Structure 1
Amino acid sequence: MSSFSLPQINDNPDGGWGPSSSNFPSQFKFKDIPYAPYSKSDKLGHFADWNNPTNDGRQTNLGPSSTQGSRGGGPGRRGRDGQPAFGSGTASAFAYFHAEDESSFSLVDSKATAARRGGPMTRGRNPGRGGGGYGRGGNAQRTGRGGFSGGRGGGQRGGRRGWRDWEKTGRARESSVAISPDWAMLEEIEFHRLAKLRLEVDEPEDLQTYGRVYPYDKTYDRINTRTEKPLQLLDRIKYNPTTSDDPVIQSLAASDAATIYTTDVILSVLMCAPRSVYPWDIVIVREGNKLFFDKRDGGGPFDSVTVNENAADPPQDPQTVNPNNPNEKIAVPETPSINFATSLSLEATYINQNFSFQTVTETAPPPAVDLSKPNPFYGPDETEPLASCGYRYRVFDLGVTEDEDIRLCVRTEVDAYTPGQDPTQGRGLVTIRALNEFDPRAPGAGGAPDWRTKLDSQRGAVVATEMKNNSCKLAKWTVQSVLAGAELLKIGWISRVNPRDNTRHVILSTTSTRPTDFAAQLNVSLANGWGIVRTVADMCMKQPEGKYVLVKDPNKPVLRLYAVPANAFTGEEEDEDAAFDGDDGDA
């Protein structure tokens, strides 16, 4: 008959699983070793694992060292989350694994990345040294603005960086006026502070009008790239004197018509200061309780038109000194390139003047209209014909409260009038400007498309590119049109007949827009511009009577106000310097 005997049970009075240490035989040599879990699927006795690849894409090493988990292989295998597999022979039950918290922190990614077959980094390119793919130097890393560089000398989107690259980017510009060490800097304002200013200004008051305006020729509105017209060279006289040289402003100042006196060209530069990149300066004279905003003799940036000022890589002039090695002398070409910044500015100024002269009708009806008074700058001895231009002297109230009496008198200009309107009543006034294309493939073109092929079919893309590359110039034109009370702003699209010839041009098209609507497209805030003007005026009114100069830093978005001698920027200063040099020569 079968029988059953109970086995011996070793009870654990401490609770928990497993027998207590007191129940182990004294000769048991693993008595003090903690219990480690194991898995029945563990294959014990293997000194090399031939089927478990390591995390670096290679198989484990041969030999007994593989049993210690060499290079991540062998029995010390890990799961998908980096933790040791259950029952791993080399694992400890009390080990701490910090895979998650340290794997998220890394300085350099040293993992080898295999290039995808047929991917964008290898298709049609040589992945060798200096190529666009994974060349010498390791993995492809994103550098610059959206570019890729693959190893040593790797390719970069938008062109390869190479020899004499310091000439192309990071060049320091020179100030528009030489800062004397004797000048005292009074104020310094950053552009980000100017962008926060606001001042709402009511409609202006018209004081006087001068000059004669001709009707705009509407046939230029129908021009396209297939019916282009050549740009003509016309000899006309157009005056743009500074504030202090204007006899009308002097008479208005004598009658206390306003507190601040300036012109639309100077005022637009100040109102659009946060958009400016190139340097400029404004001479400010305080006489009693009046301020005069002037430009220096020669005009400087006020009498010329910039080209692609706001482009990522604007046109440059040649430098004679290497900024990285001042001792190295650089040869300057004898004949300036037609695509240098100075040459392009002169070309754009020439185009603007001739386009405004050409697009008005001087002989055919409707006739020219004389404003209330004749041109104040045209003397009786002048024989050359005057250009179509009307001067409107207007007063804006800049007072914040009713008790403040801060009025600004500005001389504005209009170029023509729309036929059928009455310009004497301020209706139908037109301002005329021109954008010019020099060479889409030349440095400084700013990625502009070819106008002859894209202007008719993709006008929006062309306009958007010009709004980006010439943001400051277009904003100044818009502000000038608004200040003058013009109803329309005509913008011509002028291109070279041959990209290598800057003397012959053709008119490809003409755009007509309302200045207020165009200001909204450009995101131009007139309230912000008036806030800048009022802030600068308050800064100058706190100073004693004298002469000051407001300078835009050539390389930083900063405005600085300097106190200068009374004879600065005049002929007296030049005479004194010449006399001083003569005395030195005699000595």
Structure 2
Amino acid sequence: MASFSLPPIHDNPDGGWGPSPSNIPEQFKFKDIPYAPYSKSDKLGRFADWNDTTNEGRQAAVGLPNTRDARGGAGRSKREGAQAFGSGTANAFAYFHVEDESSFSLVDNKTAPPRRGGFIRGRASGRGANSFTARGAQRGARGGVTGGRGGAQRGGRRGWRDWEKNNRTRESSVAISPQWTVLEEIEFHRLAKLKLDVDDGEDIDTYGRVFAYEKSYDRITTKTERPLQLVDRIKYNTTTSDDPVIQQLVTKNTATVYATDVILSVLMCAPRSVYPWDIVILREGNNLFFDKRDGGPFDTVTVNENASDPPQDPTPPNPNNPADKTAVLEAPSINSTTSLSLEATYINQNFGFQSVQENMTADFAHPNPFYGSEETDPLASCGYRYRVFDLGVTEDEDIKICVRTEVDAYVPGAGNPADGRGLVTIRALNEFDPRAQGAGGAQDWRSKLDSQRGAVVATEMKNNSCKLAKWTVQSILAGADLMKIGYISRVNPKDNTRHVILSTASMRPTDFASQLNVSVSNGWGIVRTITDLCMKMPEGKYVLVKDPNKSVIRLYSVPMTAFVTEDEEGEGFEGEDPELAT
């Protein structure tokens, strides 16, 4: 038979109720727990009330005082809403979340479906179903919230086929050969953390001639628009290693790294880029050259690169699909990525050529270094300033970069342009079709540019963040005093050959950089990091490639014969993969 023994009884020698404190084990003592006041009238409710989703319920759960009055709101009795003794004291046993859950709210942006029979014929239907759908499509194209079916397809919302648009993969800007070796891979979030403070550049020499900016373009409005003209001028965009001035500076050991402002701005604004690009890096001895490829992405201007749904090119036929083998490649529309890029490049060049006075000129120290004696076509207004920036972190480091910068005009009366005063850079933003795919919620410039310029500028800063940042960095590198940005639109949204100038904005590059949240020190940190990576490599040729579909850049080691044309090689691409040449 099982035995039974009584448990030990701890007697309290002091005569009190319960065991003596000296006989209580440590694990059963309520140590360091504050006293929580209570009242016998307090009601014991639920441990967790999942139905109470109000802000007051969340505040009570974490021990915060109720922000509502003592009556507890509508539908509650005075006795139920009365504050009991101790209920306003912070609860020591309550669980405090690491974040303030009181700021959390559930937002439902879905448009409520219309009830059947909810529309009353008469004045409500007088606007018509067709009018309602058209308004929905128009407002939806501008990014507004509409109930129209057309607005849901063209606005900021996702339609039932939008997943196909966003899942389209872009092609790389350069064909990646299997013989290339990946040396480094850097994510954009790592680049965004870099920082290097660099002083203003030192002018080494100046070349070219600039014309005076026509101030009447600052007074253009949508009511006094001007047609964009086709001006036949020559403007050079020679790569770094082919620049004869840079070749002379290399012999004088002017710097360690050499680049142009166009190439350097892409590298400094790399975390903002979405479209693919590539930079050819050549190391010769202790010198580093940042080059571009002929016909590469540096020769054109992007459009709405940072929009949530950017313009798209037609999908090429799949060679592995039997149904696509006989298919003909669809001709790109005027609103495709390629067509808009060529249109924007044409607009930028002609607006810069048109908005200057050719009868007022200012010559720099030397003539244009790229204009030969056999050339007969007139030159465009352009001045080249070769400037050196010190990238050294300590005084012992001797790492300098020489940059060829460009300015487009000068402001009359603002000083001597040869001394770097009153210089201007000229750029242009273009409007194609607010209702087209890829417009990014842009408003109609003709109706909003004069009355709501801030909204138009904010939309362009969102859709073209990378492009505007590169233009701003180029102006800062060149030491320009002003930036002139023209707003140019099509005469007819269906015609991409005729354009009009609707307005021109003027701003200081440093102020505009603050508005765009562009950090020049972060850009210099990126340049210094890439420079250090390449300086650790042996002499040779490398390519820095932006992944077409990911926020990452990769550094490849390529053969010295890569990207060399037949004219430069002399004997063609002997022993080279033809995919490596442009």
Q: TM-score, normalised to structure 2's length? A: 0.71
Residue in structure 1 matched with residue 311 of structure 2 by the alignment: 315
Residue in structure 1 matched with residue 398 of structure 2 by the alignment: 405
Residue 278 in structure 1 maps to residue 275 in structure 2: yes
Question: Within 5 Å, which residues of 2 pair with 1:35-114?
Answer: none
Residue 211 in structure 1 maps to residue 203 in structure 2: no
Q: 1:471, 1:348 → 2: CA distance?
A: 15
Q: 1:241, 1:157 → 2: CA distance?
A: 41
Q: 1:327, 1:320 → 2: CA distance?
A: 14
Deviation at 1:204, TM superposition (A): 1.1
The answer (yes or no) to whether the contact 1:416–1:431 under 8 Å persists in 2 is yes
Give secondary structure in 2 for the equivalent of 1:544: coil
Residue in structure 1 matched with residue 461 of structure 2 by the alignment: 467
Give secondary structure in 1 for the equivalent of 2:222: coil
Residue 441 in structure 1 maps to residue 438 in structure 2: no
Give secondary structure in 2 for the equivalent of 1:547: strand
Report the AA paired with residue 350 of structure 1: Y
Residue 233 in structure 1 maps to residue 233 in structure 2: no
Q: Deviations over 1:51-85 (max 9, x none)?
A: xxxx9xxxxxxxxxxxxxxxxxxxxxxxxxxxxxx
Of 467, 473, 476, 1:479 maps to 473
Residue in structure 1 matched with residue 298 of structure 2 by the alignment: 302
Give secondary structure in 1 for the equivalent of 2:490: strand
Residue in structure 2 matched with residue 80 of structure 1 by the alignment: none
Give secondary structure in 2 for the equivalent of 1:187: strand
Deviation at 1:286, TM superposition (A): 0.5
Residue 169 in structure 1 maps to residue 166 in structure 2: yes
Q: 1:581, 1:508 → 2: CA distance?
A: 49
Of 197, 200, 221, 1:200 maps to 197
Could you say if the C-alpha distance between residues 124 and 371 of structure 1 is closer, same or farther in structure 2, counting changes exceeding 3 Å? farther
Could you say if the C-alpha distance between residues 345 and 156 of structure 1 is closer, same or farther in structure 2, counting changes exceeding 3 Å? closer
Deviation at 1:335, TM superposition (A): 3.8
Could you say if the C-alpha distance between residues 189 and 334 of structure 1 is closer, same or farther in structure 2, counting changes exceeding 3 Å? closer
Q: 1:293, 1:373 → 2: CA distance?
A: 24
Deviation at 1:334, TM superposition (A): 5.2
Residue 222 in structure 1 maps to residue 215 in structure 2: no
Q: Deviations over 1:214-271 (max 9, x none)?
A: 0000000000000000000000000110001100000001110000000000000000
Could you say if the C-alpha distance between residues 124 and 486 of structure 1 is closer, same or farther in structure 2, counting changes exceeding 3 Å? farther
Give secondary structure in 1 for the equivalent of 2:290: strand
Give secondary structure in 2 for the equivalent of 1:559: strand
Of 114, 118, 121, 2:113 maps to 121
Deviation at 1:329, TM superposition (A): 2.3
Give secondary structure in 1 for the equivalent of 2:166: coil
Q: 2:409, 2:342 → 1: CA distance?
A: 24
Give secondary structure in 1 for the equivalent of 2:216: helix
The answer (yes or no) to whether the contact 1:231–1:505 under 8 Å persists in 2 is yes
Q: How many residues end up aligned between the 2 structures?
A: 439
Could you say if the C-alpha distance between residues 147 and 464 of structure 1 is closer, same or farther in structure 2, counting changes exceeding 3 Å? closer
Deviation at 1:203, TM superposition (A): 1.3
Deviation at 1:122, TM superposition (A): 2.6
Question: Within 5 Å, which residues of 2 pair with 1:181-192?
Answer: 181-192=178-189
Deviation at 1:336, TM superposition (A): 2.6
The answer (yes or no) to whether the contact 1:481–1:515 under 8 Å persists in 2 is yes
Question: Within 5 Å, which residues of 2 pair with 1:420-569?
Answer: 420=413, 421-569=415-563
Greater C-alpha Rg: 1
Q: 2:153, 2:420 → 1: CA distance?
A: 58
Deviation at 1:123, TM superposition (A): 5.1
Question: Within 5 Å, which residues of 2 pair with 1:144-159?
Answer: 158=156
Deviation at 1:157, TM superposition (A): 7.8
Higher relative contact order, structure no. (Cα contacts within 8 Å, ≥ 6 residues apart): 2
The answer (yes or no) to whether the contact 1:148–1:156 under 8 Å persists in 2 is no
Give secondary structure in 2 for the equivalent of 1:503: strand
Residue in structure 1 matched with residue 255 of structure 2 by the alignment: 258
Report the AA paired with residue 535 of structure 2: M
Residue in structure 1 matched with residue 341 of structure 2 by the alignment: 345
Deviation at 1:162, TM superposition (A): 3.8
Report the AA paired with residue 281 of structure 2: I
Q: TM-score, normalised to structure 1's length? A: 0.71
Deviation at 1:147, TM superposition (A): 9.8
Deviation at 1:155, TM superposition (A): 9.7
Residue in structure 1 matched with residue 387 of structure 2 by the alignment: 394
Deviation at 1:296, TM superposition (A): 1.1
Report the AA paired with residue 397 of structure 2: E
Deviation at 1:170, TM superposition (A): 1.3
Report the AA paired with residue 291 of structure 2: D
Question: Within 5 Å, which residues of 2 pair with 1:130-149?
Answer: none
Give secondary structure in 2 for the equivalent of 1:361: strand
The answer (yes or no) to whether the contact 1:237–1:387 under 8 Å persists in 2 is yes
Could you say if the C-alpha distance between residues 263 and 558 of structure 1 is closer, same or farther in structure 2, counting changes exceeding 3 Å? same
The answer (yes or no) to whether the contact 1:389–1:413 under 8 Å persists in 2 is yes
Could you say if the C-alpha distance between residues 213 and 293 of structure 1 is closer, same or farther in structure 2, counting changes exceeding 3 Å? same
The answer (yes or no) to whether the contact 1:147–1:156 under 8 Å persists in 2 is no
Residue 329 in structure 1 maps to residue 324 in structure 2: yes
Deviation at 1:414, TM superposition (A): 0.1
Give secondary structure in 2 for the equivalent of 1:463: helix
The answer (yes or no) to whether the contact 2:314–2:331 under 8 Å persists in 1 is no
Could you say if the C-alpha distance between residues 160 and 277 of structure 1 is closer, same or farther in structure 2, counting changes exceeding 3 Å? closer
Q: 2:541, 2:454 → 1: CA distance?
A: 46
Q: 1:546, 1:191 → 2: CA distance?
A: 26
Could you say if the C-alpha distance between residues 155 and 340 of structure 1 is closer, same or farther in structure 2, counting changes exceeding 3 Å? closer
Report the AA paired with residue 395 of structure 1: V
Deviation at 1:580, TM superposition (A): 8.3
Report the AA paired with residue 245 of structure 2: V
Unaligned runs of 5+ in 2: 1-50, 52-110, 120-142
Q: 1:333, 1:297 → 2: CA distance?
A: 25
Q: Deviations over 1:80-127 (max 9, x none)?
A: xxxxxxxxxxxxxxxxxxxxxxxxxxxxxxxxxxxxxxx943358999
Could you say if the C-alpha distance between residues 148 and 495 of structure 1 is closer, same or farther in structure 2, counting changes exceeding 3 Å? closer
Task: Single out whichever of 463-472 and 327-336 deviates more from structure 2.
Answer: 327-336
Report the AA paired with residue 211 of structure 2: Y
Q: Deviations over 1:483-532 (max 9, x none)?
A: 00000000000000000100000000000000000000000000000000
Could you say if the C-alpha distance between residues 186 and 443 of structure 1 is closer, same or farther in structure 2, counting changes exceeding 3 Å? same
The answer (yes or no) to whether the contact 1:173–1:554 under 8 Å persists in 2 is yes
The answer (yes or no) to whether the contact 2:154–2:437 under 8 Å persists in 1 is no
Could you say if the C-alpha distance between residues 123 and 213 of structure 1 is closer, same or farther in structure 2, counting changes exceeding 3 Å? farther
Deviation at 1:326, TM superposition (A): 5.1
The answer (yes or no) to whether the contact 2:283–2:540 under 8 Å persists in 1 is yes
Give secondary structure in 1 for the equivalent of 2:471: helix
Q: Deviations over 1:329-352 (max 9, x none)?
A: 295565431111000000000000
Give secondary structure in 2 for the equivalent of 1:285: strand
Identity %: 73
Report the AA paired with residue 161 of structure 1: G
Deviation at 1:169, TM superposition (A): 1.7
